[in-house]
Amino acid sequence: MSDAQSLTLALGGRWYRSYGVACCPAHGDTRPSLTLADADDGRLLLSCKAGCAFLSILDAIKGRGLLGGDYRPQPLDPAELSRRKAQAKAEAAKVEKRALACWRESLPIRGTIAEAYLRGRGITCALPESLRFHPECWHPSAQRAPAMVARIDGLPRLAVHRTYLRPDGSGKAALEPAKAMLGAALGGAVRVTDGDGPLVVAEGIETALSLCSGLLQAPATIWAGLSTAGVAGLHLPPRPGRLTIAPDGDEPGRLAAHKLAERAASLGWTVSLLPAPEGRDWNDILQSKGAAA
C-alpha cells in the first residue's frame, strides 16, 4: 500500500484508485478538503482546498503519529520509476477514455435539469456548448446520478468536471463529493464565453456564468478555473493581453488570484483583480440582486 493510500485510510478518508480524499488535519475541517496522491517518483502529494501549505499538512500528520518525525519518501530504483511512469501513462489514457465516454453520453444542456439548476441560481445568460447534461453519470461512490458535465479545455488530454444534481435540478445532490473531476484538470478551464475585451478568470462554473449574467457590463472572455489550484495554475493564452481575476471572497481564493496575477504580470499581462465581498462569491451577489429586484 502506498504512502498516500495508507494515510488516506488513517485519516478516515476514502481512496479512489489513484488518489484519496480526507479531512485536512492542518485546519480541522469537517468536510473532506484534502487530496492525497503519490507522484511518479514516489513523493507524497498533498493538496488542501482551503489553501493549507504542504509543510503544515505534513506537520499535522506527523503530530497525529501517522508519519515518523524523520519521514522521507523511499527513493525508487530506476526500474521501479520506469514502471510507475508507464503505469501512470496507461492510467491517464484509461481516464481520458472514460472522460470522453462521459462527454459523448451527455446531452445538450437546454431543457434539462442541469439548465434548471443554473436558472435556479439566477443565471440568465446563454449557456455555452462546453456544458452538457448526463442523466445517469457515474459517481466515485459507485452509483449513478444526474449531473451537469463541463468540458475542460486547454489540456493535452480531455478532462471533464461533473456537478451531481438532485433529480429535479433544485440543487446539488446529497453525494460526497458533489463535484468531481475526471481526468488531469490542472491548468485547464471551462470556457464560458468568448468575447472582445479582457480574459476574466473565476473559480467556479456558476461564478463565471454569474459574471456574464449582468454583473459584467462590458464584453469579455470568461473562464472558470474550477478550484483555487486551477486558478493559480491556469494555462494562459500565449499572447499577453488584459486579465481580470474574480476570486471568491475567502483567503484561499485571494491567495490563488495573487499567484496567477504575479505570474501573468511577469509574462506581460495587464492584470486587475475583482474580488467578491468577504464570505461570498459572485453567484451569491447575483442571487442577492435577484432577490432584491
pLDDT for the residue 166: 97
Q: Domain-by-domain residue ranges, the chain?
A: 3-63, 98-185, 186-293
pLDDT in tens, the chain (293 residues): 578 888 999 999 988 877 889 999 988 777 888 898 887 777 888 888 777 888 889 888 988 888 876 666 666 667 766 776 777 778 788 889 999 999 999 999 999 999 999 999 999 999 999 999 999 999 988 899 999 999 999 999 999 999 999 999 999 999 988 999 998 888 999 999 998 899 999 999 999 999 999 999 899 999 999 999 899 999 999 999 999 999 999 998 999 999 999 999 999 999 999 999 999 999 999 999 876 55
Indicate the burial class of 241 (C-beta count within 10 angstroms; 0-12, 13-18, 19 or more).
middle
- 21 pairs with which residues across the strands? 14, 35
Indicate the burial class of 133 (C-beta count within 10 angstroms; 0-12, 13-18, 19 or more).
buried
Rounded-to-10 torsion of CA 258, 261, 267, 269 = -170
pLDDT for the residue 97: 94
Q: Amino acid identity of 234?
A: L
Q: Per the structure block, which three cell numbers stand in for 42?
A: 514516489
Q: Amino acid identity of 56?
A: S
* CATH 3.40.50.300 corresponds to the domain 186-293: no
Q: Amino acid identity of 69?
A: G
- 145 pairs with which residues across the strands? 137
pLDDT for the residue 109: 98
The pTM of this model reads 0.79
- Quickly count: other Cβ atoms within 10 Å of residue 78's Cβ: 7
d(CA 252, CA 227): 10
Q: Pick the closest to residue 167 from 243, 114, 230 (CA basis).
A: 114
pLDDT for the residue 72: 64
